[in-house]
Amino acid sequence: MPKEYGQALYEDDTQNAQISMLINGLSLVSIDHKNLRGIILKGRPSPIRQKIFNSIKTLFADYKFQKIHPQVLDSELFGGLDFARTFETGRPVHTTGYLNHHKSIILLSMAERLEPSLVCKYSTALDLNNDLSFLVSDESTDEEIISEALQDRLAFSVSIENLHYSQTKNLLFDLTKIQLAQDALPSILIDNNVIKKLTEVCVKLGIESLRAPILASYAARASAAFSNNQKIMDQDIITSIKLVLSHRATKLPDETDLTEDDNQQQTNPPDNNETKLSDESLEPTIPAEILLDAIKSSLSPQVLKNLIDRSKNLKSQKNNSGSGKTKLSNRRGRPLPSRAGKLDNTKRLDITETLKSAAPWQTIRKKRSLKNCSRIIIRSEDIRIKRHEEQSDRLIIFTVDASGTSALGRLGETKGAIEILLSEAYARRDQVALISFRGQTAQIELPPTRSLVQTKKRLAGLPAGGGTPLASGLSVSYNLALQAKSRGLTPSLAFLTDGKGNIALNGTPSRVISASETKDLAQKISSAKIPTIVIDISNRPQSEAKDLARNLMATYLALPRADSRSLSTAVTAVMD
């Protein structure tokens, strides 16, 4: 058989398996949507995905489909007061949000870019509204991932990657069979042995979530109803493992791991006092190799390789949702001119500008009004929204070389220069932080603060002497800058050093290793786009400090040539 022909057959089998899993997953969600809650479709935007969405609408004909974009407003999600209609009618008019509808299917696009606050709202809605189901589109790359909170609440995740459009003609649902399964579902009980078996599989797969075995149990019950079984059979358990547990796995157990508990149970004699169970309640016994095959068959080759090698977790431990980096704001800036817009609970109404906008039209509107009223008639196009130039607090992180070379040199003048910079920062109401490096490591002398007095006290008592752990100073500064960014601050770094590091990150004396580590960390800070200035505190400008500034892509300033005015101007230029 030619190699190309064999590859084509393999691709056809893979695509047929994808279509089969997709049909099973969607059918089971329609059978028991209150417990399974939804499905994640992983794949890039394509006509295939749209074809799948159109096919699903026939499956959930009695449901209301609502597509939500990642930048949805709270008033659209939860409803609220419709200001335009309220002004027009003279009585409160409320709207119904997406998440308040009953028997509703929410289509989430670009779910990997959802902000954490929005994920929290969706998760809460799933916990409180049993008539709500989610169809989530996962368009993520290797650097992005859907929030773990959302993945944990939805039973299924199916990949539609590499699926040919021609295969979608096989996406057909047996609506009669699904209706019969919905009727039979309440009569099928979930035996404790089924829950136990699925929980054991979760442990073997490294799944820590408690929702996983619960969702798998509901999926096994729905599969039994769909297969017209009176109870949950082995094949139903295998189906639930494929659809619910395989994509949650963080490791792939050996066959001996799966059979370990079974062998232990066989060696333990049964208790004579235990009540004998009927044939209907016997524990399902599934061979370990079948469980392994079920898991492997539902995973992509790359994911399967990662699980076997134990080199990568399928589930990322990131708390972010893959959304684009946004600049947080924690204080108000100067007011900007108001603009027309849609009012919701995240915006503030500019009453004065709204009345000014509506005033010229009052004569015409009152003539056209059916009622004779003296109140001002306001329409939606009159509404004006307040705006502010919002900026994050700025933070200057001073990293001071307090090693022996600086102590013998100009540490006293360096402290004086820092006091000038601190006074300038205090006048601008910026926050400051102080880091010193000497001996074997660097340490934070003062966390971000606006207290000028406290900063000067710490600076006056700053000890000096020992080696120059420059790499450690860069590392601590970089980590503090990242923490500041996560809190909504805009950090800038000011390094006061001669650039002559001689202590490695592990604390051992080595100029060569220190130089290499310093260069790597400087490039990392440069890649993070953190504004930086290097102030050379040596008696004469040193090439090492210039090299450090070059690697940092930073502004270089020699302290001998810097008076208070030039220092302040240089730092202000970097901050802005």
User: Which of the pair, 284 or 40, is modelled with greater confidence?
Assistant: 40
3 state DSSP class of 494: strand
Check whether 477 has a pLDDT greater than 80.
yes
Average pLDDT of 321-345?
57
What pLDDT was estimated at residue 475?
A: 92
What pLDDT was estimated at residue 116?
A: 84
3 state DSSP class of 143: coil
Check whether 224 has a pLDDT greater than 90.
yes
- What percent of the chain has pLDDT above 70? 72
Beta pairing, strands 490-497 & 394-401: parallel
What pLDDT was estimated at residue 472?
A: 92
Phi and psi (nearest 5°) for 475? Answer: -65, -45
Lowest mean pLDDT among 45-59, 191-205, 469-483, 507-521: 45-59
- Residue 174 has a CB neighbour count (10 Å cut-off) of 12
What pLDDT was estimated at residue 274?
A: 43
Check whether 545 has a pLDDT greater than 80.
yes
- Rg for the chain, CA atoms, rounded: 32
CB 234 within 8 A of CB 194: no
Strand partners, 107: 67, 135
CA atoms within 13 A on the CB side of 515: 8
User: Which of the pair, 255 or 125, is modelled with greater confidence?
Assistant: 125
What pLDDT was estimated at residue 418?
A: 66
Structure tokens of 294? 């079920």
DSSP for 152-173, written as a single string = HH--EEEE-TT--GGGGGG---
What pLDDT was estimated at residue 218?
A: 94
Residues 6 or more apart whose CB falls under 8 angstroms from that of 107 comprise 53, 65, 66, 67, 68, 135, 137
Average pLDDT of 382-386?
84
What pLDDT was estimated at residue 498?
A: 84
What pLDDT was estimated at residue 421?
A: 66
Check whether 93 has a pLDDT greater than 90.
no
Check whether 100 has a pLDDT greater than 60.
yes
Band of residue 426 on the pLDDT scale cut at 50, 70, 90: low
Band of residue 444 on the pLDDT scale cut at 50, 70, 90: confident
Strand partners, 394: 490
Strand partners, 109: none
DSSP for 242-283, written as a single string = IIIIGGG-SS---HHHHHHHHHHHHHSPPPTTSPPPPGGGPP
Check whether 513 has a pLDDT greater than 50.
yes
User: Which of the pair, 298 or 17, is modelled with greater confidence?
Assistant: 17
CA distance 354 to 87: 12
pTM of the model: 0.55
Check whether 382 has a pLDDT greater than 90.
no
Q: What is the pLDDT of residues 161-172, one digit of tens each?
A: 777 777 777 788
CA distance 498 to 30: 68
Average pLDDT of 310-336?
42
Lowest mean pLDDT among 52-56, 83-87, 124-128, 558-562: 558-562
Q: Of 451, 415, 420, 414, whose CA–CA distance to 433 is shortest?
A: 451
CA atoms within 13 A on the CB side of 85: 8
What pLDDT was estimated at residue 106?
A: 87
What pLDDT was estimated at residue 92?
A: 82
CA distance 227 to 443: 64
User: Which of the pair, 370 or 292, is modelled with greater confidence?
Assistant: 370
Check whether 71 has a pLDDT greater than 80.
no
What pLDDT was estimated at residue 427?
A: 67
Check whether 192 has a pLDDT greater than 60.
yes
Structure tokens of 355? 């009345």
Check whether 221 has a pLDDT greater than 90.
yes
Highest mean pLDDT among 51-60, 121-130, 455-464: 121-130
CA distance 329 to 341: 21
For tokens 């108001």, name the residue. 338
What pLDDT was estimated at residue 212?
A: 92
Check whether 316 has a pLDDT greater than 90.
no
Beta pairing, strands 80-81 & 94-95: antiparallel
Structure tokens of 261? 């508990």
Which structural domains are found in the chain, ordered by start?
1-172 (3.40.50.300), 174-263+282-318 (1.10.8.80), 336-388 (no CATH), 394-575 (3.40.50.410)
Residue type at 55 in one-letter notation: S
What pLDDT was estimated at residue 318?
A: 38
Highest mean pLDDT among 3-17, 134-148, 501-515: 501-515
Buried/exposed 309-318: b ≥16 CB within 10 Å, e otherwise? eeeeebbbee
Residues 6 or more apart whose CB falls under 8 angstroms from that of 399 comprise 435, 436, 437, 442, 473, 474, 476, 477, 493, 494, 495, 496, 497
Check whether 286 has a pLDDT greater than 60.
no
- What percent of the chain has pLDDT above 90? 11
The region, left, alpha or beta by phi > 0 then psi within -120 to 50, assigned to residue 375 is: beta
DSSP type of residue 392: P
For residue 137, the surrounding DSSP H or E stretch is strand 132-138
DSSP for 403-443, written as a single string = SHHHHHTTHHHHHHHHHHHHHHHHHTT-EEEEEEEETTEEE
Residue 371's alpha-carbon distances to 85, 361, 365, 366, 527, in angstroms, are 16, 16, 11, 8, 65
Band of residue 5 on the pLDDT scale cut at 50, 70, 90: very low
Band of residue 494 on the pLDDT scale cut at 50, 70, 90: confident
What pLDDT was estimated at residue 144?
A: 66
For tokens 């009012």, name the residue. 343
Lowest mean pLDDT among 53-67, 282-296, 468-482, 510-524: 282-296
What pLDDT was estimated at residue 143?
A: 55
Residue type at 125 in one-letter notation: A
Beta pairing, strands 431-438 & 394-401: parallel
What pLDDT was estimated at residue 183?
A: 92
Q: What is the pLDDT of residues 116-158, one digit of tens each?
A: 888 888 899 888 888 888 888 887 765 567 888 888 999 998 8
Burial class, 425, CB count within 10 angstroms (exposed 0-12 / middle 13-18 / buried 19+)? buried
Beta pairing, strands 384-388 & 394-401: unpaired
CA distance 34 to 221: 13
CB 555 within 8 A of CB 531: no
- Residue 424 has a CB neighbour count (10 Å cut-off) of 18
CA distance 499 to 236: 66
**Mean of the per-residue pLDDT values of the chain:** 76
Q: Of 2, 43, 45, 47, whose CA–CA distance to 22 is shortest?
A: 43
Average pLDDT of 197-223?
90
Structure tokens of 232? 């949950």
Beta pairing, strands 38-42 & 156-159: parallel
Highest mean pLDDT among 161-165, 415-419, 523-527: 523-527
- Residue 121 has a CB neighbour count (10 Å cut-off) of 17
What pLDDT was estimated at residue 82?
A: 76
